[in-house]
Amino acid sequence: MKLSIIIPVFNEEKTIKQVLEKVGGIKISGVDKEVIVVDDGSTDNSRFKIQSAKSGSKSGGIKKIFHKKNQGKGAAVRTGIEAATGDYILIQDADLEYDPNDIKRLILPIQKEKAKVVYGTRLNRLPNLTKDESKPLFLIHYFGNRFLSLITSILYGQWITDMETCYKLFPKKALKDVELNSKRFDFEPEITSKLLKKGYKILEIPIVTKPRGYDEGKKLNAIKDGSIALWTLLKYRFVN
């Protein structure tokens, strides 16, 4: 099996080097991997750090693609998908919210032929209100995501707890004859809706993340992007 790990990047100079090292250092028995990093017109030092990243055997090889201007996460992921040569595709964010060590756990059901699509879920539990998860910003994202996941479940007939998760693992052939249009964060509902409409069942694996705030570089706008995600779910339920 060959796995293509796509890393969309926009202004992640503080973390991109470490993410590339962590992803590059992962070894999975029976799996060849390629790392495809797509810089989406960064205006900080992300581009320089990507350019200086080594593409040797330790990293498993890195394909480096640079957009001339910022187009959005969805556009960067689509560019990565076009360049991917793997049997399976996985999306990895360029910050440190998600632990690349979880990739091994996500791919295990694929290897055991127990699933064809695997999502890493952060939301199959209640918030821990004694820690940072009690902050209003976290709770807005938590309940907003749970609401969108509920709408996904109702519209597409499969229970899912974390539609907005970054960690989506799916076969490249699932996108055959599928047109992806998203340019921003609406990629998450679009790819989910189109996988479900093609009959793929999504297996969710619990993961633990380290959410960051807007002061640390978080880009998702809960109200604006949440509204777009809702419209995207409704739209693709009835049109292709």
| Band (210; pLDDT cuts 50, 70, 90) | confident
132 CB-side CA count, 13 A? 6
CA distance 152 to 136: 24
Is the per-residue pLDDT at 167 higher than 50? yes
Amino acid at 124: N
Number of domain units in the chain: 1
HEC secondary structure over 140-174: HHHHHHHHHHHHHHHHHCCCCCCCCCCCEEEEHHH
**b/e per residue 128-148 (b: at least 16 CB within 10 A):** eeeeeeeeeebeebbebbeeb
The predicted-structure confidence for 53-83, as pLDDT tens digits, reads as follows: 876 544 457 999 999 999 999 999 999 999 9
The predicted-structure confidence for 17-46, as pLDDT tens digits, reads as follows: 999 999 999 999 999 999 999 999 999 999
Is the per-residue pLDDT at 2 higher than 60? yes
Position with higher pLDDT, 171 vs 239: 171
- What mean pLDDT value characterizes the chain? 87
CA distance 32 to 171: 14
Sign of CA dihedral 149, 153, 156, 158: positive
Is the per-residue pLDDT at 205 higher than 50? yes
Task: Tell me the CATH number at 14.
Answer: 3.90.550.10
Sign of CA dihedral 123, 31, 195, 199: negative
Range of the domain at 8: 2-238
The predicted-structure confidence for 121-164, as pLDDT tens digits, reads as follows: 987 655 555 555 555 566 667 778 889 999 999 999 999 999 99
Is the per-residue pLDDT at 222 higher than 70? no
Helix axes 136-156, 222-238, angle to 10 degrees: 0
